[in-house]
Structure 1
Amino acid sequence: MTSVGVVAVWHGAEGWGVIESSDTTTGCWVHFGNIWTLNHPPLARGESIQVRGQGVNLQIGETVDFDWEAVQQDGYSFRAVDVRPRRDPPRRTVEFRVHGERVPWPTSSFGELPHPGLWTE
């Protein structure tokens, strides 16, 4: 489910925080690895993805769009699976490899890279 929320807690050194939203009334736990997430189908044997670039953090009080699931996580009833702050994303590089060889992002099976302007190949 997609919602709009506000970052209420952010522990940058630990890489996690809490988003408040009317849809996730007890707070939604979020990990830094779920900010501008690169979702993809399961990788086949010999495939790998490597992401490099700037780190990501949230700021207390900033508005975010986020997708979440209703599961228990560290005392919270909801967990964010993709968080999109309403600001420009950091630049990152994604490398897709098959048996160690770098190949173009497989749009035919994975679709376009999400969050335009975030990724370079």
Structure 2
Amino acid sequence: MTVIGTIREWNDDEGWGVIDSPRTPGGCWALFSQAAVSGYVSFTAGQSVRLEWESPGQDGWPYRAVRFWPEGQEPVDRFADATGGPGGAYHSTLSLSFDDDPEGTDRPRE
């Protein structure tokens, strides 16, 4: 469910803020990664937003934003590239390899 909310406060340096709406009394905690906008995430106090939320009851906030974006704009999937798959910036791999011990000197340490 999407509701209209208002940014109470937004901390650009730390990437979080609080959104108020009639459906989230006491405030809804919002993290930059849940913002459905492209580019740098920044909001201003008093700005109207569309808000999707849940009520996990953690970290002192009764509500948490699942997704939010400026009112009057379409939400943007920040984590998908042009092909609709996950963006390359959020992909990593790890490969481990071990050298063979041709001389048999690999022994347990005492």
Both structures adopt the same fold (TM-score exceeding 0.5): yes
| Runs of 4+ with >2 A deviation | 86-90, 92-96
In structure 1, the partner of 2:54 is 69
Relative to 1, partners in 2 of residues 1:12 and 1:84: Cα closer, same or farther, differing over 3 Å? same
Specify every segment of 5 or more residues in structure 1 that has no aligned partner in the other structure, as ranges: 38-52, 97-103, 107-121
Partner Cα distance (2:35, 2:8) in 1? 15
Partner Cα distance (2:23, 2:79) in 1? 33
Give aligned pairs, total: 83
* Aligned residues of 1:67 and 1:83 also touching (Cα < 8 A): yes
Relative to 1, partners in 2 of residues 1:93 and 1:75: Cα closer, same or farther, differing over 3 Å? closer
1:12 correspondence with 2:9: no
* Aligned residues of 1:29 and 1:73 also touching (Cα < 8 A): no
Partner Cα distance (1:86, 1:5) in 2? 9
Higher strand share: 1
1:82 correspondence with 2:61: no
Partner Cα distance (2:24, 2:80) in 1? 32
Relative to 1, partners in 2 of residues 1:105 and 1:78: Cα closer, same or farther, differing over 3 Å? same
How far is the alpha carbon of 1:5 from its aligned partner?
0.6
TM-score (norm 2): 0.64
Relative to 1, partners in 2 of residues 1:93 and 1:36: Cα closer, same or farther, differing over 3 Å? closer
Partner letter of residue 16 of structure 1? W
How far is the alpha carbon of 1:88 from its aligned partner?
5.3
1:37-116 matched pairs, under 5 angstroms:
54-86=39-71, 94-95=80-81, 104-105=83-84
TM-score (norm 1): 0.59
Spell out, residue by residue over 1:54-87, the C-alpha distance to the aligned partner (whole angstroms, 9 max, x if none).
Answer: 2111111100001000112421100001001126
Structure with max Cα Rg? 2
Larger RCO of the pair (alpha carbons < 8 Å, separation 6+): 1
Partner letter of residue 36 of structure 1? A
